[in-house]
Amino acid sequence: MVDRDKSGETTKDFSVDVPMETPGFFLKGSAHLNWGMKNRLSRIFNPKTGKAVMLAFDHGYIMGPTSGLERIDLSIPPLLPYTDCLMCARGTLRSCIQPEIDKPLVMRCSTGATILKDLSDEVIGVTVQDAIAMNASAVTTQAYIGGEHEKETLANLARLINEGNLYGMPTLGVTAVGRELVRDSRYLGLASRVVAELGVHFVKTYYCEPGFDEVVAGCPVPIVIAGGKKMPELDALTMAYKAIDQGALGVDMGRNIFLAEDPVAMIQAVRTVVHDGEKPDKAYDLYQTLKK
Ligand code: 5RP
CATH 3.20.20.70 fits 35-290, yes or no: yes
CA-proximal residue: ligand 1, atom 4 (nearest): 56
Query: Parallel, antiparallel, or unpaired: how do β-strands 223-226 and 250-253 relate?
Result: parallel
Nearest atom (ligand 1) to Cα of 227: 11
The single residue of 38, 51, 204, 242 carrying the catalytic annotation is 204
Query: For 65-95, what is each residue's pLDDT tens digit?
Result: 999 999 999 999 999 999 999 999 999 999 9
Query: Among this protein's residues, is 204 annotated catalytic?
Result: yes
- Quote the ligand 1 centre to 66 CA distance (angstroms): 12
Predicted local confidence at residue 2, as pLDDT: 54
What are the distances in angstroms from CA 132 to CA 5, 59, 128, 136, 240?
A: 47, 22, 6, 6, 31
Nearest atom (ligand 1) to Cα of 226: 11
Best of 55, 229, 252, 255 for a ligand 1 pocket test (most atoms within 8 Å of beta carbon): 252
- Quote the ligand 1 centre to 106 CA distance (angstroms): 12
CA-proximal residue: ligand 1, atom 8 (nearest): 254
Best of 58, 122, 140, 208 for a ligand 1 pocket test (most atoms within 8 Å of beta carbon): 58
- Quote the ligand 1 centre to 65 CA distance (angstroms): 15
The CB of 62 under 6 Å from ligand 1? The reply is no
Nearest atom (ligand 1) to Cα of 140: 13
Domain boundaries, the chain: 35-290
Query: For 238-285, what is each residue's pLDDT tens digit?
Result: 999 999 999 999 999 999 999 999 999 999 999 999 999 999 999 999
The CB of 176 under 6 Å from ligand 1? The reply is yes
Query: For 180-235, what is each residue's pLDDT tens digit?
Result: 888 999 999 999 999 999 999 999 999 999 999 999 999 999 999 999 999 999 99
Predicted local confidence at residue 36, as pLDDT: 98
pTM of the model: 0.94
